A and B are shown apart, each in its own frame.
Chain A
Amino acid sequence: MQSDEYGGYVDSYDFVGTGDAHDDEGMLLVPGQPGRPTDANFDDPKVASMPKILLMGPRRGGKTSIQRVIFQKMSPHETLFRLEATQSLERAIVDHTPLCRFTVWDFPGDFYEGDETVFGGAASLIFVVDAQDEPYDHVLQSFTDAVTKAIQLNPNIVIEVFINKVDGELFLSDESKYDCRRDVYTQVNYELEDAGISPDNINIRYHLTSIYDHTIYEGLSRVVQRLIPQLPTLESLLNVLVSQCSMEKAYLFDVVSKLFISTDPGPVDMQSVELCSDMIDVVLDVSGIYGLGPSQLELGHAAAAAESNSVEGADPNSTSENKDGFDVPDELVGTLISQAPAEDLEEEMVDPDSAYDSESASVIRLSNGMVLYLKEVDTMLALVCITRSENFRKKSLINYNIGCLKKALRALVDNESL
């Protein structure tokens, strides 16, 4: 248990293209958040107090793959040849956006030991089962052992069973997936009862997942949503937004992991979540090509200097243009100038590296009359709305309301850190 690799910070920021150690270090310092750790020290009370997600299960079940694909942007087919069996516990901090912070503990296969330090502060235990490796009975016996221990030490822990690898030839039909879930469910209940635990008394959920499609994002989103104490507030904020602006649906996404951390109370259609999540890819990819700061482009010295001058000029710029006659309160993709207080501008300037910045926004029009509208609402947090194009015409109303939401989110975060 010695190698504490902390992926969340360093690796998950890799997508902005900063490779060298110096920059990575810089990434650890998030401006405007004094007291944040500058080193991934898991004994640090700040880190220790983050909710813990434990990944356990049989060898080759896919624990490390899940961790890498979601939090370190490894492509699923790379897991085939880039991963070796995990030898010791690997921990990672996930802290992209203030509302959604936690640590992920990836255990070696078939490792179910654990004492107070492991299960104590854990919010969830994800048990990853390989759906393509029948029979499951042996695996589920060890599962029962782990669960028994976990709930003894921590009765509040949520058990999340990830029935993973439901893809490929064996699972072409939905029916085969549901059959598989029923099998696992029945056997788990049987095992638990055998061990003297009533399944009704523990918090246990089942998810069918595959790293090759969106199901893994769905499963982890549901896990992560449980960790957010402000969830009810978020939901009601989004509810207000959706009804004020006659939107169909609104989601909050952590743009780095692409997990959705909240939505309005209306029914969730996974297909639309998937589309929103794909939209985030588009926005990050296109911005990564055209919207990076000078440091990533490795411009020549002079050019870089010219550009950094202009970065200072950039924000005043947007106001200085306005002076020639009119405020531009609402460009097609509005910029919320009116809502941006001075500190915000400052914060933006100290972080010129990210392609996703406080003016990040995107509009996608679909042939069925729907519009997807994405807007930055906090560091690495995106609001993605689905709305009918006729309701999208009141653009400044929408932007005004999103501005209010943004303020409210800020207040929620500030409250928490007090």
Chain B
Amino acid sequence: MAKKKVLLMGKAHSGKTSMRSIIFANYLARDTTRLSPTLDVEHHHVRFLGDLVLNLWDCGGQDAFYESYFERDRETIFRSVELLIYVFDIESDSPEKDFDHFSGVLEAIEENSPDARIFILVHKMDLVSLEEREAIFEDRKRVIEQECSNFGVEHFHIFGTSIWDETLYKAWSEIVTNLIPNIRLLESHLNTFCKVCDADEVVLFERATFLVISQAQAESSGDDHLLTGPGGDSKEATTQAAFASPSGGADGVPGLDEAAQPSADETNDTSSTTGLVVPPDDLDSAAGPSNDTPRHAARTPHFDAHRFEKISNIVKQFKLSCGKAQAQFQGMEVRNSRFSAFIDAFTANTYIMVIVSNPNVHTAATLLNIQNARDHFERFIPRI
């Protein structure tokens, strides 16, 4: 178990506590209007991926507190900081003063925790009209970059955020994945899994926060994809066997999945008994590109660049709705004529989303693959 100290700083009323509460304490955006100003420093320990404990120092932003942060408590605050998150309010009425605090913080961090990673959020972007947002953000970014370079700070990330849209999830996903070691290994396994499922993409989310921790896409070019044909790639074939073992048939899949299986009491459509859970051989052919697939050749389309954050946001909202109805969300499928999405509890600390647009891939096969990959992946979720 690892504890990492995270400093959350910025001017009063800039939205620090709001963000923390939405990401880690299941607040709805509208609940944050009831927050009162933070007095001094509030400490919160939040768990991420089971083992990682973030020790959040939410520092109240009123001027009076900064005096003690910079003087009396300087070392306590700024020592052994793993990560600094500094929040600017886009609608600040005194930008100069914001920068006073900011440079003080940079100085103190450089002095006490020179290795700290630095994230800067330009927050409440929703208050700027959509047309101007990009320009105003770039402008603010330039000023901040200038300030950082004045203090010799070179490595930092800047995000525009708002609690009212998915930008919040984008920024915090980046922040948090920065603390996870070995994320590459996970990614490569996810890539394999994506291929095996013949999925368009696969995304892993952290269970409690629904922040994105890893993702994999099918190769974007259809030609590339054709090269890894069935049988042509022995590595793929073996991994596949690991996921969809023949024994993983009927009894391995609980709950809803059983619905996919023809059972005696169903309407007497005998043809359906051909088995919807595709055995590995069938899966093989279903997973590989068949000869008649102009439809899938160009099948990884240019989806929305912000889709993962949007999904985080959508599912998190829905989880909260379930909570209000005294139930807990377990998993879902959504489809129309063009795609199927599966979002399901995966390992102990993650959710998985699998997107499939190939109509030859059976729902039951995808569910079975998810089911069988669970244990396998449990090993690759980084232990911290």
**CB within 8 Å for A392 and B338 given contacts A326-B272, A366-B327:** no
Chain A interface residue count, CB cutoff 8 Å, equals: 70
Provide the residues of chain A in CB contact with B334, threshold 8 Å. Answer: 282-283, 286-287, 361-362
Report B344 CB to chain A, min CB distance, Å: 9
Closest CB-CB distance, A275 to chain B, in whole Å? 5
B272 touches A367 (CB 8 A): no
- Enumerate 12 A-B pairs (CB-CB under 8 Å) in ascending A order: A282-B318, A282-B334, A303-B298, A306-B297, A309-B294, A313-B294, A331-B362, A361-B336, A364-B331, A370-B327, A394-B265, A395-B260
Chain A, residue nearest B34 (CB): A169
User: Nearest-CB distance from A364 to chain B (Å)?
Assistant: 4
Say yes or no: B255 contacts A274, CB within 8 Å: no
Q: Which among A321, A330, A366, A368 is the interface contact of B360 at CB below 8 angstroms? A: A321
- Stretch in contact with the other chain, from B55-63, B66-74, B94-102, B302-310: B302-310
Instruction: Determine which of A303, A332, A366 lies in contact with B276 in the assembled complex, contact meaning CB atoms within 8 Å.
Output: A332
Contact B327 A303 (CB under 8 A): no
Q: Which of A347-396 contact B (CB under 8 A)?
A: 348, 355-368, 370-371, 389, 392-396
- Contacts A314-B359, A368-B327, A397-B266: A77 and B336 contacting too (C-beta < 8 A)? no
Does any Cβ of A come within 8 Å of B325's Cβ? yes
A332 x B333 contact (CB < 8 A): yes
A-B contacts counted at CB < 8 A amount to 194
The CA of A214 and the CA of B269, in the complex, are separated in Å by 42
B314 within 8 A of A: yes
Per-residue CB contact flags for chain B residues 254-270 toward chain A (1 = under 8 Å, else 0) read 01111110110111010
CB neighbours (8 Å) of B355 from chain A are 290
In the bound complex, CA of A278 to CA of B319 (Å): 10
Q: A274-B321, A327-B272, A362-B333 are in contact. Are A299 and B301 (CB under 8 A)?
A: yes
Given contacts A285-B310, A313-B295, A317-B359, contact A290 B256 (CB under 8 A): no
B245 on interface, CB distance cutoff 8 Å: no
Known: A290-B355, A298-B302. 13 other contacts (CB 8 A): A303-B298, A306-B295, A330-B262, A330-B272, A332-B260, A356-B336, A359-B335, A365-B256, A368-B327, A393-B258, A394-B259, A396-B272, A397-B266
Check A328–B256 contact: CB distance below 8 A: no
Cβ contact within 8 Å between A332 and B363: yes
Query: What are the residues of chain A within 8 A of B177 when measuring CB–CB?
Result: none
Question: Which B-chain residue is minimally distant from A364 (CB atoms)?
Answer: B332
Query: Chain A residues with Cβ under 8 A from B256's Cβ?
Result: 332, 363, 365, 371, 389, 392
CB of A394 within 8 A of CB of B298, answer no
Question: Smallest distance from the beta carbon of B165 to chain A beta carbons, Å?
Answer: 10
From B257, B325, B331, A272 is in contact (CB under 8 Å) with B325
Which chain B residues (249-288) contact chain A, with CB distance < 8 Å?
255-260, 262-263, 265-267, 269, 271-272, 274, 276
B339 beta carbon closer than 8 Å to chain A: yes
B328 touches A367 (CB 8 A): yes
CA distance A371 to B258 in the complex (A): 13
Whether a CB of chain B sits under 8 angstroms from the CB of A291 is yes
Whether B298 pairs with A366 at a CB distance below 8 angstroms is: no
CB-CB under 8 A from B257, the residues of chain A are: 332
Is A240 located at the chain interface by the 8 A CB criterion?
A: no
Query: How far apart sit A355 and B303, CA to CA, in the bound complex (Å)?
Result: 14
Q: Is residue B291 within 8 Å, beta carbon to beta carbon, of the partner chain? A: no
Assess whether A307 is interfacial by the CB under 8 Å rule: yes
Closest to A367 in B: B328
The answer to whether B315 and A289 touch across the interface, beta carbons within 8 angstroms, is no
Contacts of A359 in B (CB 8 A): 335-337
Residues in B neighbouring A285, C-beta threshold 8 A: 310, 314
B333 contact from A76, A307, A313, A363, Cβ within 8 A: A363
The reply to whether B363 and A282 contact each other, CB–CB distance below 8 Å, is no
Q: Does B322 have its Cβ within 8 Å of any Cβ on chain A?
A: yes
Contacts of B327 in A (CB 8 A): 275, 366-368, 370
Q: Given B267, B307, B317, B362, which contacts A397 in the complex, CB threshold below 8 Å?
A: B267
CB distance from B168 to the nearest CB of A (A): 15
Q: Is B379 an interface residue (CB 8 A)?
A: no
- Within the complex, which residue of A272, A291, A314 is in contact with B295, where a contact is CB–CB below 8 Å? A314
Please name the residue on chain A nearest to B313 by beta carbon: A285
Q: Which of A75, A328, A389 contacts B255 (CB 8 A)?
A: A389
Give the nearest-CB partner of B356 in chain A: A290
**Cross-chain contact B295 with A310 (CB below 8 angstroms):** yes
Whether A297 touches B303, Cβ cut-off 8 Å, given contacts A271-B324, A303-B298, is yes
- Shortest CB-to-CB span from B27 to chain A, Å, is 15
Question: What is the CB-to-nearest-CB distance from B164 to chain A, in angstroms, rounded to a whole number?
Answer: 7
What 7 pairs across the A-B complex have the smallest Cβ distances? A310-B295, A332-B363, A367-B328, A326-B274, A366-B327, A359-B337, A278-B321
Across the interface, do B337 and A357 meet the contact criterion of CB distance under 8 Å? yes
Contact assessment for B301 and A396 in the assembled complex, using a CB-CB cutoff below 8 Å: no
Residues of A near B303 (CB, < 8 A) are: 289-290, 297
Is A325 in the interface zone, CB < 8 Å from B?
yes
- Knowing A278-B321, A330-B272 touch, does A361 contact B328 (C-beta < 8 A)? no
CB distance from A165 to the nearest CB of B (A): 14
Indicate whether A109 reaches chain B with its CB closer than 8 angstroms.
Answer: no
- CB contact under 8 A between A77 and B322, given known A282-B334, A299-B301, A355-B336: no
The residue on A at minimum CB distance from B165 is A75
CB–CB A363/B336 < 8 A = no
| Contacts A331-B276, A367-B327, A389-B255; A278 near B317 (Cβ below 8 A) | yes
Residues of B within 8 A of A293 (CB): 338
Q: How far is the CA of A357 from the CA of B322 in the complex (A)?
A: 26
Asked whether B235 is an interface residue with its Cβ less than 8 Å from the other chain, the reply is: no
CA distance A292 to B333 in the complex (A): 17
Set of chain A residues within 8 Å of B106, measured between Cβ atoms: none
Decide: A281 and B338 in contact? CB cutoff 8 A: no
CA distance A271 to B151 in the complex (A): 54
> Is A289 within 8 A of B276, CB to CB?
no
One of B164, B329, B359 near A366 (C-beta < 8 A): B329
Residues of B within 8 A of A396 (CB): 262, 266-267, 269, 272
User: Please, how many angstroms separate the alpha-carbon atoms of A358 and B336 in the complex?
Assistant: 7
A-side contacts of B331, CB under 8 Å: 364-365
Contacts of B87 in A (CB 8 A): none
* A292, closest chain B residue (CB): B338
**Smallest CB separation, B318 vs chain A (Å):** 5
In the complex, are the beta carbons of A303 and B304 less than 8 A apart?
Answer: no
Residues of B within 8 A of A366 (CB): 322, 327-330
Interface centre among B164, B262, B302, B314 (most CB of A within 10 A): B314
Q: Does B83 contact A (CB under 8 A)?
A: no
